[in-house]
Structure 1
C-alpha cells in the first residue's frame, strides 16, 4: 500500500471517519422521525462513504489489476451515489416536480450500473495503457490508471453533469419560491459537486496529476447537510416547545370547557368559555351573540362580552354591513387585517380601530342561532389549532344555547296555562314562596287575592264548555294586560285566579280594595258570545302576608277561607281574611292529624249509648254515639271533630270503626243476657251512604259478629238523602230488604218537604232538639204537632231528641210522640254502664210489648 502514514492517507481516513459520523447522526434522525427524506439522506451518506473507501483503495494500489478492480467499483458507486444524491435533495425540498424526475435519474443511473458491471474495464476507459504513480504534495505518490476514455466514460460524465444541472435548476426554483436558505445551501452543494466532477474529468484525461477529490466534496456536502439538520432540529425543537405550549393552553381551554358542563349557571358558563378563548387567542374583544330575525332588520344581541379578559356590558347591533353578516352565512369567517377598512359601515369596528376579525356561526339544526366572534386591534393570523378550538367552543356554545331554549320552552309548558296564557298554579307557588321570603326580609307586605267567577257552572251549562273556555281565554288576556312589575296574576284552577301584590310598603288594605275594584271592572266588561253580550262577575278573598299568616303554607289556605266567606256573605264581594280564622284552620288541621292517630291506635275512640225510651222510661233501644278522649286534650266534642272528618273523608274510616264496634258490642251484650231483639241506631254520613260497597260491607260486618240486621237502625239526615233522590230511594230499599230499619234524623232542620218524605222508605222520624227546646212556644208547638201528625199518617214511629224536662216530655206525649231521647232520662253511657242501666228493670215491659 502507498501513503500508509502520509497526508493523503490522513485525508482519506478523516474523510471516511467524518462520513461514518454523519451516517450515525443521520441514522439517529431516521429512527426518531422515520421520514423518507432522512432515509434517502442515509443512503446517500453510506454510498458517499463507500465511494471514499474505493477511492482510497484505488489510489493506494501497487499493481494494475488491483487498481482496475477498485476503480471499477469506484465508477459503479458513482452512478448509485448520483441517484441518492438527487433523490435526497428532491425529497428534502418536497417538490413533486423534481421528485418525478427521480425515475429518469434512477433509470439512467441503473443503465450505467448494469453497463459498468458487465464491462470488463471500468466505465471510465475503453483501453488501459499503464498504471502510473504520480507525485502529490511533492513527497507523496498516488496510483492513477492511464488509458483512453470510451463512450461509457463520456456517458458517465454526461450523466453526472445532467444530475448537477437538474440540481442547479432545483436551487433556482427554490430561490424563486422564497425558500432562500435552502436555495443557497443547494447552490453551494451543486458548485462543490461540479468542482469535484470537473477535477475527476481532468484526472481521467491526464491533464492534471491529482487524486479524486469528489469524495471530499461530499464531506463538505455532508457538513452542510448536518448544519441544515442542526438548524432544522433547533427550529423543530422551538416549534415543538411552542406546539407543546399551545397544546397545553388548548388542553387547559378544553378542560375549562368540560368544566362548563358542570356549571349550572349559564352566565358563568359563557364567562368561563370566553376566558379560555382569551387565553388561547389574546383577542381584544370576544363575544357570543344571539341572532334575532323577529325585527325588520336582523340584529345580534350579545349574550356575553369580554374585553381584555374582563366581562363588560352586553350590547346590540344590526347585522347589515358588518362582517358578522358574512359570518352568519359561512362556517368560519376570517379577516386577518384591515377589517375596519373593509366594512366602513360597521361603527363598532371603526370606533374601536379594530384590525382583525374571526367569526363562526352557532349552528343548531341547520339554522344560525348566533355568532362567536374574536376581535384584535392588530393584524392576527389564526393557526389551524385555534380555528379548530373556536369550532369546538362554538359547538359547545350552540349546545348550551339550545339547552337554554329547551329549558325556556319546558318552563313555558310547566309554568303557564295553555287556555288563558297566564302562569299556572306551579308558577304561583314559586312566586308566593319568593315574595314571602322577600317580604319577611325587607319588612314589606304582600297580598294574595284569590277570586273565582260567580255561577260559572251556569255559563258552561247554558252555553257549553267551549263557550266557557272562550270566556276564560278572554279574561286571561285582559288580566295579562293588568300584570305589572309588582303585580302577578295566575290561573289557580278551573275558573279560579290568583293575584299577588308584592312589596307594598304602606296601606296594604287600601291597595287591596283598589285592585279589587279594578279587577272586578275588568271581569265585568261584556264578552261577545255570537252576538250576545255575556257579563260575568266574581267574588274575592284576600290575605295580607306575612302579617296575617304564620308561614307561607297558610297563604293560599287563608285566601281560600276568605273567598268562601265572601261567597257566603253574598256574591260579587271581597272579604279580607280574618286572622282569627287561622286559629280555627289550625285547630281543624290539628284535629285531622289527631283523628288519623286515633284510628290507628283505637284506644282514644269509644262508643257511648243513649237510651231511647217511652214517656215512662221504658227502654226501646239506644243510639250509638262516637266519643274521642284525646291523651293530652281530653274530651273532644263530636260537634267539633265530625265536620272535620266529613271534610277530609276520614268519616268513612270512622263510620266503619263505629259499625264494627257496635256489632261487636251487641254480640257481647247478647251473650251477657241482653234480649236479642234489642236495636241500636247508628248515624251514617252522606259520604258513607254513597259508597258503592256500603250495603255489602254492612252485611259482612253483621254476619261476622252474628248480629241480625234487625238489631241495627241507620240514622240519616235530610241533606245526606236528598243529594240524589233516586239513588237514596234505591239504596234505602236495599237496606230495608236486608232487614235493617231506617230513621230520618234532625227532621225539620233541612228541606222538610212532604213530597220527598212521601217517597223515602222510612221507619222512624226524629224531631230535632231545636224544636223540642221551643215546645212551649205556640208556633213551634203547632209545627211539632204537624210533624207528629205527618209521621203517624205515614206509619212512622216518632222520636223526640234532646228532651231535658218533664214538661217537655208531657207536652210531646200529649201531641202523640211515642219515644224520647235526652238527658231527662239518661245521658249517653259507656257500654258497661248502659248494660247495668238496661238491666235495672227498664227493659221487660218494653220488650214484652214487642216494640
Structure 2
C-alpha cells in the first residue's frame, strides 16, 4: 500500500479513503494537543510585542491588535476542540489550514504595523518576539505538515518583506541583516518541518502495516479458536474448573459457560453416555489419586443438536513446592476419528450402500462351516436388466434400486439366513441350518426371491423392473469346503444366464465340467489370438443363373494343438464375451484384405469380392469406419472389393450409431450385406433406412426348400430384397435342385457345399487360378 515518497506525497495522494482519513485525523489531533503551548505563546508574546510598540504614535492600533490576536487565539483554540472529533475529511483539513493561515497573518500584521516605527532595542525585541512566534508556531503545527508550512510561509515571507522594505526606505543595514536572518530562519525551519513530516509519514506507514498484520494475526487466532479440536482446561485443588473451553461447556449444558464452582468430574459424569462409564471411573480414580491420565474417551450427547460427540481427555496434576494445586490438561475433539474408525469397522464387514454383509463377512462365515454338523445352501442372485436401468436412468437410480432389492431379499428371512451383497448387482442369500435342508424349502426360497425381485419398483419418479437369475449350491452335498460354495453357485449362475436368464439353476458336476472346458478354451483362445493362430478360410459365392464366381466369404477357423479343431460357434461367442473379438476381428479383416488383393491380380477382369463379418462387439468398442479405412489403405485393396457383413442383432443396441457407421462405410465404397435375414429382429424400417447392398437368406430356410418348392419365406425375402433394389444371396446351397428352385424364385446368388467348402488361402488361390484358366481358354 505504501512506498517511498517525495515531497508531493506528504499528503494523502494514492491512499485509500479510509487510510487517508486516518492520516488527516491523526495530524489534526496531534496539532490540537500542542495548542496549549501555542496559546500560552500568543498570550505572552502579543503583549510583549505591544509594550515595545507603545508610545510610537500607534497606541490605538497596539491595543486593538493585542486584543484581537489574543481573542482570536483563544477562539481558534476552542473551535479546534470540535475538530478533535473529526473523521479526517478533506473539508476539515482545509478549514484547519485556513485558520492556521489567519493565525500567522495576525502576527505578520503586527510586524508590519509596529516594526517600522520602532527603533534601537525595541526593533531588536520585536524581531526576537517574531522569531519566537515563528519557531513556536512551526513546532505547534509540526503534526500537520500543510498547516505548519502555511504558517511558516506566511510569517517568513511577510516578516522578511517588512524588514526589506524598511531597509530600502531607511537605508538601515540592520534591517537588511534582519531580512537575511528571517529568510535563513524560515529556510531552516522549513527543512526541519519537512523532515519531521517525512518521519511522521514513515511512522504512520509502519503503523498501518503493523495494524494490517495485527488484524490478520487476530483473524487467524480467532479462526484457530473456532476451528481447533484441542482445548486447554484447568482445575483447582478441589477439582473445580478454573478454565475450560466453551465448546465442551456447551456440550455439557453448563449454564452460560460459567466455570465457577463446577466440579469437572461431576459435570462430565452427568453428561456422558453409559458407554463412557468405565472411562468416568478411570477419571474419578485419577483425580482421587492425583495421578496423571491419558486417552480417557468420553461420549456425550450434545444438547445443541442431539449429535453424539466424543472427547479425548488427558491431564496432569500440578504441584508447587510439594503442595497439590490442581489438574491441568487437554480436551481433544475425537468425534471425526471415532466416526472414521467405526466406519472402517463397518465397511470391513458390511456393504456401504445396502448395509448387508459384504463378501469378506460371507467368506469368513463360509470358512467356518463344518461338514459334520452344518448344512447350508448358497443362492447367488444376479439382477437381469440392471445395466439397462443404470444406462437409462443413471447410477443414482441404480443405487436406489439395489437398496430396494436388498430390502426385498431380507423379507421373510429367518434368523439362520444371511443376506449379503457381493458387489455390483450380485447378492447372496445363505441358508444355514444344523439339519438337512429339504429340496422343497430350497426351491420355495429361490422362487420367492425371483418373485419379490421381479416386482415393479418405484424409485423416485421412475417405475423400474428387473428379474433375477439364481445359481444354487449346497453344503455338504456339492462340496465339503465352505468357501467353494461361492464358486459353485457362480458356475450355476453362469448357466442360468446362458440359458436365457430369469431362471434358477442348481450346481452339478456336468456344469463344472462344461465350465472347466470353457476356461480351457478361453486360455487357449487368448494364446491363439495373441499369436495369430486363427486364420480365415474362404467359401465361394456364385451367380445362380450361370455359376459365375462373384466372391468369397471369410470364415474364421481355429485348429488348436491341444483342443484340436474348435467350432466357430464356440470360440466366436467366447471371443465376444471376453472382448477378444476386437483383436481377432481386426486380424481376420486384415488377412482377408491382403488375400483379396492377391486374387485381384489373378482375375483382373472380374476380381472377386471378399465378404467379412463384423461383430456387434466391434461396433460397440471400436471405430469400425476408421479400422476399415486404415486396413484398406495399408493393404491397397480397392473398397469395392470388400463387403462388410452385419447381423440383425447389431442394430438392437444402438441403432442410430450403427446406422451412422454403416453410412460412413458405404461412403468409403464398401458394400454392406445383412446376414441371416429373417432369423433375428427383422424390421422393414431398417431395411429402407440403412445403406444395404445385399440380403443373405439363412441356410435354415434353404435346407427345406426341396420339400416345399413354393417356400413362402424365401420367396418373400427375394421379392422384398428386389423391391428395395438389393441383391439376394442364399446360404446352404448343396445340390443342383437347390440351385434350380432358388433360380425359379429369382434369387440372385448362392453359396454352399455345391460350389465349395471353406478353403484355406492356398486352396482358394488355386481355385481362382483354375477358374481364370478356364475363362482364358473359352
Q: TM-score, normalised by structure 1?
A: 0.49
1:476 aligns with 2:406: yes
Q: 1:418 aligns with which of 333, 352, 373?
A: 352
SS of alignment partner, residue 597 of structure 1:
helix
Higher relative contact order (CA 8 A, sep 6+): 2
RMSD between superposed Cα atoms in Å: 4.6
In 2: Cα distance, 1:525 partner to 1:626 partner: 44
Q: Give 1:490's aligned residue.
A: 420
Inter-CA distance 798–436: structure 2 relative to 1 (3 Å threshold): same
8 A contact 2:471–2:493 mirrored in 1: yes
Inter-CA distance 678–433: structure 2 relative to 1 (3 Å threshold): same
In 1: Cα distance, 2:603 partner to 2:500 partner: 55
Q: Give 2:560's aligned residue.
A: 630
Q: 1:711 aligns with which of 629, 635, 641?
A: 641
Q: Give 1:747's aligned residue.
A: 677
8 A contact 2:389–2:464 mirrored in 1: no
1:658 aligns with 2:588: yes
1:554 aligns with 2:487: yes
1:327 aligns with 2:298: no
Inter-CA distance 685–826: structure 2 relative to 1 (3 Å threshold): same
Inter-CA distance 535–732: structure 2 relative to 1 (3 Å threshold): closer
Larger radius of gyration: 1
Q: Give 1:621's aligned residue.
A: 551
SS of alignment partner, residue 827 of structure 1:
coil
**Superposition map of 1:405-484 within 5 A:** 408-423=342-357, 427-428=358-359, 430-439=360-369, 442=372, 444-452=374-382, 470=400, 472-477=402-407, 479=409
Q: Using the TM superposition, give the Cα deviation of residue 773 of structure 1 relative to its aligned residue in structure 2, in angstroms.
A: 0.9
**Superposition map of 1:575-586 within 5 A:** 575-586=505-516
8 A contact 2:472–2:489 mirrored in 1: no
8 A contact 1:683–1:716 mirrored in 2: yes
SS of alignment partner, residue 840 of structure 1:
helix
8 A contact 1:618–1:843 mirrored in 2: no
**Superposition map of 1:111-126 within 5 A:** none
SS of alignment partner, residue 653 of structure 2:
coil
In 2: Cα distance, 1:706 partner to 1:847 partner: 30
Inter-CA distance 410–843: structure 2 relative to 1 (3 Å threshold): farther
Q: 2:689 aligns with which of 756, 759, 764?
A: 759
1:830 aligns with 2:760: yes
Q: 2:274 aligns with which of 288, 295, 298?
A: 298
Inter-CA distance 606–546: structure 2 relative to 1 (3 Å threshold): farther
- Unaligned 5+ runs, structure 1: 1-291, 301-317, 336-357, 373-390
Q: 2:517 aligns with which of 587, 609, 626?
A: 587
- Unaligned 5+ runs, structure 2: 1-267, 301-309, 315-326
1:609 aligns with 2:538: yes
* Mean Cα deviation higher: 361-370 or 832-841: 361-370
Inter-CA distance 674–505: structure 2 relative to 1 (3 Å threshold): farther
**1:66-124 Cα shifts (integer Å, max 9, x gaps):** xxxxxxxxxxxxxxxxxxxxxxxxxxxxxxxxxxxxxxxxxxxxxxxxxxxxxxxxxxx
Inter-CA distance 483–326: structure 2 relative to 1 (3 Å threshold): same
8 A contact 1:681–1:712 mirrored in 2: yes
In 1: Cα distance, 2:637 partner to 2:534 partner: 22
**1:235-259 Cα shifts (integer Å, max 9, x gaps):** xxxxxxxxxxxxxxxxxxxxxxxxx
**Superposition map of 1:270-289 within 5 A:** none
1:793 aligns with 2:769: no
8 A contact 2:718–2:728 mirrored in 1: yes
**1:196-233 Cα shifts (integer Å, max 9, x gaps):** xxxxxxxxxxxxxxxxxxxxxxxxxxxxxxxxxxxxxx
Q: Using the TM superposition, give the Cα deviation of residue 833 of structure 1 relative to its aligned residue in structure 2, in angstroms.
A: 1.2
Q: TM-score, normalised by structure 2?
A: 0.54
**1:557-613 Cα shifts (integer Å, max 9, x gaps):** 224325526864xx4x544345423322222222221111012222x3221111101
**Superposition map of 1:173-212 within 5 A:** none
In 1: Cα distance, 2:774 partner to 2:728 partner: 21
8 A contact 2:474–2:485 mirrored in 1: no
Q: Using the TM superposition, give the Cα deviation of residue 417 of structure 1 relative to its aligned residue in structure 2, in angstroms.
A: 2.9
In 2: Cα distance, 1:565 partner to 1:487 partner: 28
In 2: Cα distance, 1:413 partner to 1:293 partner: 32
Inter-CA distance 846–613: structure 2 relative to 1 (3 Å threshold): farther
8 A contact 1:712–1:740 mirrored in 2: yes
